[in-house]
Amino acid sequence: MRMPRNLKYFAVTVAVLLVGAFGTVSCSKIPEPDFQEPSPSVTITFASLETGTGTAQRFAEQFMERYPDIRVETKILPPISDFVHDAFVNELVNGETQTDLYALDTIWIAEFASSGWLKPLDDFFDAETLDKVLAKPLENAHYNGRLYALPWYTDSGVLFYRKDLLEEIGADPPQTWSELVEQADTLQRSGKVRYGYLFQGDKYEGLTVNFLELFWANGGELADEDGFRLNVPEAVETLRFMQNLLEARISPREVLQYKEVQARERFLAGDAAFLRSGPIVWGLSASSEVKGKIGIAPLPVGPSGGQIVTSIGGASIGLNARTTGEREKAAIRFMKFLIGDEARRQVALGHFRLPVVRNAYEDADVLAFNPYYGDIGQMIENAARFRPIAVNYSEISNVLQTGLHDALNRGIDAEAALEAMEQLIRALPASQ
């Protein structure tokens, strides 16, 4: 049967998982609205998470240098996706009027838009402007065919590897799970590294992403003609692979407490041969023990897969539906600044993130800084997958986080764990 296209948000005590889909994104030319300059001395507030490079605050400062009559105050939250989500939701549920702009994880847009918390942006950004944005991040910023957020920077899971160590053993970057395990084991046994492969295994959004990337790279799909499916051979194989990484000590059990920061710190300290993470690691490596020693490759594929796959992430800027008047004008001006020529280079060069503007991937300075940027940009356009797009995605991810972490931590049989999750989900009305 067909999965429903539009899902109504509701709270549940047990998280549910379902797959939704956006309506078709319109590419028609939208007339530029009659935009007036905001009045002097208007102040707007921008809420974001800490990126590790002070992204939100630094862009606010740059903007205020150019537009001194607009003040941008920033609210910076800890770099934990689930924490930031709940903080934003609590504000908006309670009728927040002081915060104008929110840096949203791409997976929250459907939830926030369907709840009436975001103002549609179609009238503020014409087709010519939006055509400059990468297709996948832009698609994910829509809900029911309308634009509810402006892509700011994007993200993608990639494999970091110790280039110097692979050269020593005469190996190319691994293309399959078996090659990854073999190379990691060889380097561990040689004493050159303490850990083989590091990933984000704590009970949070990062674990969901890690599992889905492996699942997709193993040829898996979350739904078929009969609806949602989790207990399928590709998923069982994926979870067993993750369990085997721990059992064989290719990955240390400490990864079950690792989020992005902890995993990359260990890799940047020279402790590991391989790391699954986002492109920010490249920029941070310039002041690390592995400076000049690392490379970037696509994530390896599983035995049932064959296609390179990555997840798409990043941040898009949403406008509070309650923001009006001069603050709305100032907020739109700030959003346009964030995807302008000046800002798109800084996203890559100063903040080590992936720009959403196409021409950034043709910029000589950007490519000189990170020669892998061009390949990553192509991967986002051609191989990136969306996590389940649903208005209740936070609940979706929660059930995956809990079930996967328990299975990894306690060694629960993979098939039994996945079957239990699937039965819980399919028994709920929202999963039908």
Same domain, 144 and 194: no
- CB distance 431 to 18 below 8 Å: yes
Same domain, 183 and 300: yes
- For 73-89, what is the mean pLDDT? 93
Same domain, 145 and 51: yes
Output the domain CATH number for residue 214. Answer: 3.40.190.10
Same domain, 264 and 369: no
pLDDT of residue 424: 78
What's the DSSP call for residue 105? E
Structure tokens at 11: 């709270």
Instruction: Judge whether 190 lies within some domain.
Output: yes
Instruction: Judge whether 30 lies within some domain.
Output: no
- CB distance 294 to 365 below 8 Å: no
Q: Using a CB cutoff of 8 Å and minimum separation of 24, what contacts does 126-129 make?
A: 126/29, 126/30, 126/31, 126/32, 127/27, 127/28, 127/29, 127/30, 128/29, 129/336, 129/339
Three-class secondary structure of residue 374 per DSSP: helix
Q: What is the pLDDT of residues 401-420, one digit of tens each?
A: 999 999 999 999 999 999 98
Same domain, 319 and 276: no
Picking from 1-15, 25-39, 267-281, which range would have the lowest pLDDT averaged per residue? 1-15
pLDDT, the chain, mean: 89
Name the more confident of 17 and 88.
Answer: 88
The torsion of the CA quartet 254, 259, 264, 267, rounded to 10 degrees, works out to 10
Within a 10 A sphere around the Cβ of 13, how many other Cβ atoms? 5
Largest interatomic CA distance in the chain: 66
pLDDT of residue 11: 34
When pLDDT is cut at 50, 70 and 90, the band that residue 8 belongs to is: very low
Domain count, the chain: 2
Element (H, E) at 123: none
pLDDT of residue 392: 76
Three-class secondary structure of residue 195 per DSSP: strand
Element (H, E) at 319: strand 310-319
What span, in angstroms and rounded, lies between the C-alpha atoms of 379 and 131?
A: 18
Same domain, 63 and 143: yes
Residue 9 has pLDDT above 60, yes or no: no
Residue 294 has pLDDT above 60, yes or no: yes
Instruction: Judge whether 175 lies within some domain.
Output: yes
What values do phi and psi take at 289, rounded to 5? -70, -20
- CB distance 142 to 148 below 8 Å: yes
Residue 115 has pLDDT above 70, yes or no: yes
Which of 44, 111, 97 is closest to 75 using CA atoms? 44
Same domain, 231 and 143: no
Query: In which domain, by residue range, is 82 found?
Result: 42-155+312-376
Same domain, 289 and 334: no
Residues 6+ apart with CB under 8 A from 377: 134, 354, 360, 361
- For 146-163, what is the mean pLDDT? 96
pLDDT of residue 422: 84
Three-class secondary structure of residue 369 per DSSP: helix
CA atoms within 13 A on the CB side of 304: 15
Instruction: Judge whether 143 lies within some domain.
Output: yes
Q: Count, in order, helices (H) and strands (E) of the chain.
A: 17, 15
Which of 68, 306, 286 is closest to 176 using CA atoms? 306
What span, in angstroms and rounded, lies between the C-alpha atoms of 266 and 257?
A: 13
Same domain, 46 and 191: no
Three-class secondary structure of residue 313 per DSSP: strand
Same domain, 212 and 293: yes
H helices of 175-290, in order, are 177-189, 205-217, 233-247, 260-268, 280-284
Instruction: Judge whether 4 lies within some domain.
Output: no
Task: Determine the distance from the C-alpha atom of residue 45 to the mean position of all C-alpha atoms in its chain, rounded to a whole number.
Answer: 23
Q: pLDDT exceeding 70 applies to what percent of the chain?
A: 89
pLDDT of residue 37: 59
Residue 36 has pLDDT above 60, yes or no: no
Residue 29 has pLDDT above 50, yes or no: no
Residue 110 has pLDDT above 50, yes or no: yes
- CB distance 151 to 314 below 8 Å: yes
What span, in angstroms and rounded, lies between the C-alpha atoms of 327 and 20?
A: 33
The torsion of the CA quartet 296, 297, 302, 308, rounded to 10 degrees, works out to 130
Q: pLDDT exceeding 90 applies to what percent of the chain?
A: 75
Instruction: Judge whether 142 lies within some domain.
Output: yes
What span, in angstroms and rounded, lies between the C-alpha atoms of 404 and 208?
A: 8
Same domain, 87 and 177: no
Q: What is the pLDDT of residues 242-260, one digit of tens each?
A: 999 999 999 999 999 999 9
- CB distance 382 to 307 below 8 Å: no
Picking from 60-74, 86-100, 190-204, 358-372, which range would have the lowest pLDDT averaged per residue? 358-372
Q: What is the pLDDT of residues 207-237, one digit of tens each?
A: 999 999 999 999 999 877 677 789 999 999 9
Give this prediction's pTM. Answer: 0.86
Q: What is the pLDDT of residues 308-317, one digit of tens each?
A: 999 999 999 9
Please provide the size of the chain in residues.
Answer: 432
Element (H, E) at 414: helix 414-427
Residues 6+ apart with CB under 8 A from 400: 15, 17, 207, 208, 211, 421
Q: What is the pLDDT of residues 380-404, one digit of tens each?
A: 988 999 998 887 788 888 889 999 9
Residue 136 has pLDDT above 50, yes or no: yes
pLDDT of residue 93: 97
